[in-house]
């Protein structure tokens, strides 16, 4: 979806009395989800098993 269209659709769903701060969070979420979907499509993901293998020692030993 084109960015401008996505922003317009998001703004149309929000109540008119929202502040810029209240609008910025849904825009942030929209951007992060869009980036995640793009990562899935491009195949630039890290398998769960690899993440677990790399983080397990930290989980068990702390940051030491």
Backbone torsion region of residue 43, taken as left when φ is above 0, otherwise alpha when ψ lies between -120 and 50, otherwise beta: left
pLDDT at 1 over 70: no
- For residue 5, how many other CB atoms are within 10 A of its CB? 9
Q: Round to whole Å and give the CA distance between 12 and 31.
A: 17
Residue whose entry in the numeric block shows the structure tokens 């890290």: 46
- HSE of 62, CA atoms in CB hemisphere, 13 A: 1
Tens of pLDDT, residue by residue over 9-40, are 999 999 999 999 999 999 999 999 999 999 99
**pTM flag (> 0.85):** no
């Amino acid at each position: 979806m084109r960015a401008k269209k996505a922003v317009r659709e998001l703004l149309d769903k929000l109540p008119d009395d929202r502040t810029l701060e209240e609008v910025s969070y849904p825009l942030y979420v929209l951007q992060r989800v869009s980036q995640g979907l793009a990562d899935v499509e491009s195949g630039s993901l890290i398998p769960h098993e690899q993440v677990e293998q790399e983080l397990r020692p930290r989980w068990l030993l702390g940051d030491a």
